């Protein structure tokens, strides 16, 4: 199982971090040791002083494939969950300044809490109009809608599968909307797809 992630997929989030709007999806990966399931707590790492939450919809791959055409892409994912792409923003900024890879800023242990429950794709009326949100201590910090994505689910599948063979069980973070911010010890994060809470965990 691999965890892929798309950076800079929502215009308003690109603006808040003063990033450039990409011509193609920005891809990075997290190792499987980043995964947190079962609403397990996230332990604040000692190597960062600025860990940010990024609430994101997560696709689950259901079929192996590479060089997938956009018109067939929908056959390769069968369910959508929600996760937090934790980012050590201070380490990421250092890496960006030097043009170095983001791995330690994005892929550290526990940096990918993901809901246990995934909603079957067939349960959604329109994949281009899915609402999702992230709350910190009960206050809504991020509200996204898939209509605002620069690159659609199907285009993400096309693009990723040019470089990586996708395998059953792989997970793809599809990018965060605006409103990212720091977490601190004691925060409780909860994440919703439409009105349903799929993920809730504590920062320790
Ligand atoms: Mg992200």
User: What is the residue-wise DSSP string for the chain?
Assistant: --EEEEES-BHHHHHHTTPPPPSS-EEEEE-GGGEE-TTPPBPPPTT-S-EEE-EEEEEEE-S-BSS--GGGGGGGEEEEEEEE--EEHHHHHHHHHHT---HHHHSSTT-EEB-S--EEGGG-S-TTS-EEEEEETTEEEEEEEGGGBSS-HHHHHHHHHHHS-B-TT-EEE----S--EE--TT-EEEEEETTEEEEEEEB-
14 has a pLDDT exceeding 90: no
CA 2 to centroid of ligand 1, rounded, Å: 16
> What does the pLDDT read at residue 87?
98
Q: What total of structural domains would you count in the chain?
A: 1
CA 175 to centroid of ligand 1, rounded, Å: 5
> What does the pLDDT read at residue 169?
98
Q: What is the mean pLDDT of the chain?
A: 97
> What does the pLDDT read at residue 16?
87
Among 18-27, 29-38, 102-111, 121-130, the range scoring the smallest mean pLDDT is: 18-27
CA 176 to centroid of ligand 1, rounded, Å: 5
Domain hosting residue 103, numbered range: 3-202
The domain that holds 61 is classified in CATH as 3.90.850.10
CA 58 to centroid of ligand 1, rounded, Å: 11
Q: Binning pLDDT at 50, 70 and 90, where does residue 13 land?
A: confident
Q: For the segment 78-133, what is each residue's pLDDT rounded down to a tens digit?
A: 999 999 999 999 999 999 999 999 999 999 999 999 999 999 999 999 999 999 99
Residues with CB under 5 A from ligand 1 (ion): 54, 85, 176
CA 72 to centroid of ligand 1, rounded, Å: 25
């Amino acid at each position: 199982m691999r965890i892929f992630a798309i950076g800079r997929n929502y215009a308003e989030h690109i603006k808040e971090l003063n990033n450039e709007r990409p011509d193609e999806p920005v891809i990075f990966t997290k190792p499987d040791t980043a995964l947190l399931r079962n609403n397990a707590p996230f332990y604040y790492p000692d190597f960062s002083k600025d860990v940010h939450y990024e609430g994101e919809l997560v696709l689950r791959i259901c079929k192996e494939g590479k060089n997938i055409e956009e018109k067939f892409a929908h056959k390769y994912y069968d369910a959508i969950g929600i996760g937090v792409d934790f980012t050590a923003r201070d380490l990421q900024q250092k890496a960006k300044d030097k043009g170095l890879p983001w791995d330690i800023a994005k892929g550290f242990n526990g940096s990918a809490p993901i809901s246990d429950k995934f909603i079957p794709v067939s349960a959604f009326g329109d994949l281009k109009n899915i609402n999702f949100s992230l709350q910190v201590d009960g206050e809504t910090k991020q509200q996204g809608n898939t209509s605002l994505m620069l690159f659609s689910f199907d285009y993400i599948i096309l693009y990723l599968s040019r470089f990586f063979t996708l395998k059953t069980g792989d997970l793809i973070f599809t990018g965060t909307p605006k409103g990212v911010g720091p977490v601190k010890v004691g925060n409780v994060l909860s994440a919703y797809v439409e009105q349903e809470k799929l993920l809730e965990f504590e920062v320790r």
